Amino acid sequence: MERRSENKIVLIVRRTRLDELIARFNTEDQARFYVEHLGADFSDYQTEDRTYKQAVREAEGILSHHGRLQIVERSFMPNFIFGDRDTVVALGQDGLVANVLKYLNGQLLVGVNPDTARWEGALLPFSVPDLDLLMPQVFSEKRPVRSVTMAEATLNTGERIFGVNDLFIGPRTHTSARYLIRVGKRMERHSSSGIIVSTGLGSTGWLRSIITGATGIVSSFSDLPINQDEKCSFEWDADYLYFSVREPWPSKSSTADITFGKITHGMPLVLVSSMPENGVIFSDGMESDFLHFNSGTEATICLAEKKGLLVT
């Protein structure tokens, strides 16, 4: 098949649930035995796997026709170097799109739904067949692009991590996070379950669950008619972030007045760890990709200078 352009396309794929089971149990038969022994439907894993891999083959065929194609599995992204003019296509669920976006710096990202019968996909506006007409439009800059604000945590060690949906700062295990928190001129020592920092893109996820739980508790104690369904989302390109402290504990050595607030360009969130071990910062639910946040480490949480660019 003749290639229509020399544009570089990077297709990001992921392992299926069946792939993960086979990696754990060595063979598909052993994976089947484990799943069915627990009373679950193994055929659903097989159907999902077949559908996804067929989508990968179809996407590969289409994209190879439109440019120079390279396929990268998600686990290799932290060490993969994207070219400045690469066009990136993520074939998977919303979480894959968010995970890819934080590794990009100005490259366009196309989110593709591999299984429209299974996944709704707020970040997956396209299906595999759409790619044939879509890619020439992307290359000629005729497609609209949506800007996405990201969060950034920078440590006094020089390390940094980006969050497309959210950042978690706290203990690796189910223990108390101890740290000093500073927002503007306000400062106090905390003992909590950690802090969530949410972007506009992620505001309908973890942040929404926190606010829903908090309003439910307040409603129960106050008998006020609080609407728990009230939207707490904000724009994807908003020039601010929100932070929320999970389960703050007031004691003789800790207070709990700073529990929720806004992070802006002029007012970052600063945290200094008092945890001798197991303190971490990770983003977008990827616990395997983290920074250590132990005693003496200072983290400054702010809006990232770079923006995510999603093709719509």
Beta strands in 208-259 (DSSP E): 241-245
The helix (run of H) or strand (run of E) holding residue 274 is none
Q: What per-residue confidence (pLDDT) applies to 231?
A: 58
Q: Which CATH architecture has domain 149-305?
A: Sandwich (2.60)
> How many CB atoms neighbour CB 216 within 10 A?
12
Q: Which two tokens stand for residue 191?
A: 């003992």
- Backbone φ, ψ for residue 107 (5° rounding): -75, 145
Q: What per-residue confidence (pLDDT) applies to 132?
A: 96
Distance CA 297, CA 287 (A): 19
Q: What per-residue confidence (pLDDT) applies to 205?
A: 85
Distance CA 195, CA 84 (A): 34
Distance CA 208, CA 115 (A): 26
State the DSSP code for 46: H
Per-domain boundaries in the chain: 8-143, 149-305
The helix (run of H) or strand (run of E) holding residue 49 is helix 42-66
pLDDT < 70 positions in the chain: 1, 222-232
Q: What per-residue confidence (pLDDT) applies to 252?
A: 86
Distance CA 3, CA 203 (A): 41
Distance CA 159, CA 20 (A): 30
Distance CA 114, CA 92 (A): 6
Q: What per-residue confidence (pLDDT) applies to 112?
A: 98
Q: Convert 152-174 to b/e letters by CB count within 10 Å (16 or more is b).
A: bbbbeeeeebbbbbbbbbbbbee
**Domain 8-143 classification at class level:** alpha beta
CATH topology match: 8-143 vs 149-305: no
